């Protein structure tokens, strides 16, 4: 039975499905989920992420966190955590760069929040030398200084979509039309959690809500504020999302999110306002374009140094990767980053409060 058949039979017996349940099922179904059944990153996969484009990304991210660790007195032991680490490439590049920072490798304990058993296995292979631990929920993070990275993690969390109807909202749901999955609308209802969106929307506007994001960040920030640490969050999105940003990607092209459940990656823009609100009591940085952040950290001299050792096709790929990560018309502006430090502590290098 395909995931599409499973969903159709479930909707037939139980009625229309919320979009967040649909996304969770498509991405993480134990047998057919997108992340559970494959390693989707890289040229042969469906999409490519910054750490898969160049080692420079993970190196600079690692060194930025290492500087925060030094600024806070190099606590030992400490947790280096990653949310949704994919193939483990970012973590591996970060650790290689940080091995040059005195005492870092002796003090580090790696913890990963990863829902996919297939990706956990890939990460275990990439990081064999570091004995990483995996956790199922963020509450399971060890209670000690915590430095964390999240790259394209929050955009993979399930969202709900609501369409404004007077002072109420109608939820976008998945039902069945002519035997196939189709979007429909639930009844108009009040949504107390969306009260703040009445002021900036009008009838017919669609907004998105990702209820899973804030509790994860908020738990991390409480941990960081009481034990020390810092965090870096990279993603694409907006300050208050407006409009339908649900996107399905298959084979590097956009697809219909309902056409082949479990076969395409589903993401939505992150709402940076909601994320920043969840950073209390820590201090967040300004939301900064990824390209600006990487340039401030010295990606260009690093790229030039690496270029010395390359020639021919490898050199061309390397030059293209540098451009892809930083250029405003590529990922440089679309992707944003913000940092998090405990109240009163120095902000991470490359970012400003
Ligand atoms: N950070 C990686 C991968 C980004 S893709 C990179 O930059 O290459 C999203 C990652 O988050 C995948 O590893 C996926 O399995 C994981 N993920 C998605 N939803 C999750 C959830 N609810 N809990 C934990 N991990 C999740």
Instruction: Give the per-residue pLDDT at 152.
Output: 97
Q: Read off φ and ψ for residue 232, nearest 5 degrees.
A: -130, 125
pTM equals 0.96
Instruction: Give the per-residue pLDDT at 45.
Output: 78
Pair of tokens at residue 276: 């920043």
CA distance 29 to 23: 10
Ligand 1: distance of its center to the CA of 305 in Å? Answer: 31
What would you report as the CA-atom Rg of the chain, rounded to the nearest whole angstrom? 21
> Any idea what the Cα angle at residue 315 is, between residues 314 and 318, rounded to 5°?
85
CA distance 173 to 20: 9
Write the residue with the smallest CA distance to atom 2 of ligand 1.
86
Instruction: Give the per-residue pLDDT at 128.
Output: 94
CA distance 247 to 221: 29
Sign of the Cα torsion 94, 100, 105, 107 reads negative
Write the residue with the smallest CA distance to atom 18 of ligand 1.
156
Tell me the β-bridge partners of 248: 255, 266
DSSP string, 152-173: S-GGGS--EEEEEETTEEEEEE
Atom of ligand 1 nearest to the CA of 28: 19
Write the residue with the smallest CA distance to atom 17 of ligand 1.
84
DSSP string, 73-141: T--SSEEEEEES-TTSHHHHHHHHHHTTSTTHHHHEEEEEE---HHHHHHHHHHTGGG--EEESSGGGS
- Terminal Cα-to-Cα distance of the chain (whole angstroms): 52
Instruction: Give the per-residue pLDDT at 300.
Output: 98
Going by C-alpha positions, the residue among 62, 50, 71 that lies closest to residue 110 is: 62
Ligand 1 pocket: which of 153, 157, 290 to mutate (most atoms within 8 A of CB): 153
CA distance 208 to 245: 8
Ligand 1: distance of its center to the CA of 85 in Å? Answer: 6
Q: What is the pLDDT along the chain (353 residues), one digit of tens a residue?
A: 899 999 999 999 999 999 999 999 999 999 999 998 877 877 777 889 999 999 999 999 999 999 999 999 999 999 999 999 999 999 999 999 999 999 999 999 999 999 999 999 999 999 999 999 999 999 999 999 999 999 999 999 999 999 999 999 999 999 999 999 999 999 999 999 899 899 999 999 999 999 999 999 999 999 999 999 999 999 999 898 899 999 999 988 899 999 999 999 999 999 999 999 999 999 999 999 999 999 999 999 999 999 999 999 999 999 999 999 999 999 999 999 999 999 999 999 999 99
DSSP string, 25-82: HHHH-TTT-HHHH---BSTTSSB--HHHH-HHHHHHHHHHHHHHHHHTT--SSEEEEE
Q: If DSSP codes are grouped into helix, strand and coil, which group holds residue 234?
A: strand
Atom of ligand 1 nearest to the CA of 35: 15
Does ligand 1 come within 6 angstroms of the Cβ of 153? yes
């Amino acid at each position: 039975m395909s995931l599409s058949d499973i969903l159709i039979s479930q909707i037939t017996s139980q009625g229309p499905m919320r979009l967040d349940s649909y996304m969770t099922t498509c991405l993480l179904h134990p047998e057919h989920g997108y992340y559970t059944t494959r390693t989707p990153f890289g040229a042969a996969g469906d999409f490519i992420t910054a750490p898969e484009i160049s080692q420079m990304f993970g190196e600079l991210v690692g060194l930025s966190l290492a500087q925060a660790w030094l600024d806070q007195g190099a606590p030992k032991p400490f947790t280096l955590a990653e949310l949704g680490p994919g193939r483990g490439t970012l973590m591996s590049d970060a650790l290689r760069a940080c091995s040059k920072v005195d005492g870092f490798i002796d003090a580090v304990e790696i913890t990963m929040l990863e829902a996919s058993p297939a990706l956990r296995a890939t990460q275990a292979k990439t990081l064999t030398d570091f004995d990483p631990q995996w956790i199922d929920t963020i509450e399971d993070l060890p209670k000690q200084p915590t430095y964390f990275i999240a790259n394209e993690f929050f955009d993979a969390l399930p969202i709900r979509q609501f369409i404004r109807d007077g002072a109420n909202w109608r939820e976008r749901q998945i039902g069945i039309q002519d035997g196939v999955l189709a979007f429909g609308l639930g009844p108009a209802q009040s949504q107390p959690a969306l009260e703040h969106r009445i002021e900036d929307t009008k009838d017919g506007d669609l907004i998105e809500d990702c209820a899973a994001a804030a509790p994860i960040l908020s738990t991390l920030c409480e941990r960081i504020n009481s034990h020390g640490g810092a965090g870096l969050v990279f993603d694409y999105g907006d300050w208050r999302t407006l409009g339908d940003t649900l996107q399905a990607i298959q084979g590097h092209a956009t697809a219909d999110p309902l056409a082949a459940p479990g076969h395409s990656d589903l993401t939505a823009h992150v709402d940076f306002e909601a994320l920043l609100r969840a950073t209390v009591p820590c201090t967040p940085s300004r939301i900064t374009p990824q390209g600006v952040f990487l340039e401030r950290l010295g990606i260009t001299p690093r790229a030039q140094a690496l270029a010395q050792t390359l020639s021919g096709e490898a050199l061309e790929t390397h030059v293209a990767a540098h451009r892809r990560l930083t250029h405003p018309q590529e990922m440089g502006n679309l992707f944003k980053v913000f940092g998090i430090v405990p109240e009163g502590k120095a902000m991470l290098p490359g970012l400003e409060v």
